[in-house]
Amino acid sequence: MTAKEIVVAYADALGKGDVRAAFSFFSAEVQWHQPGNNQFSGLKKRS
């Protein structure tokens, strides 16, 4: 898949509410920081 096809497939999956499919496009080592000061804040890793 091209980068554009991956982004479109990711967005389509999210649009359908299919988070599992959307996250399937992430690397197994992906990490991101969710800003804020609540239960969803902090460093997140793909699980």
Render pLDDT for 1-47 as a digit per residue (tens, 0 to 9). 999 999 999 999 999 999 999 989 988 899 999 999 999 999 998 76
Sign of CA dihedral 1, 29, 20, 15: negative
In 10 A of CB 38, how many CB atoms?
Answer: 8
Which of 34, 35, 33, 12 minimizes the C-alpha distance to 24? 12
pLDDT the model gives residue 47: 64
> How many H-runs (helices) and E-runs (strands) does the chain carry?
2, 2
pLDDT the model gives residue 28: 87
Interatomic CA distance for residues 30 and 20, integer angstroms: 14
Structure tokens given for 16? 């359908």
pLDDT the model gives residue 35: 96
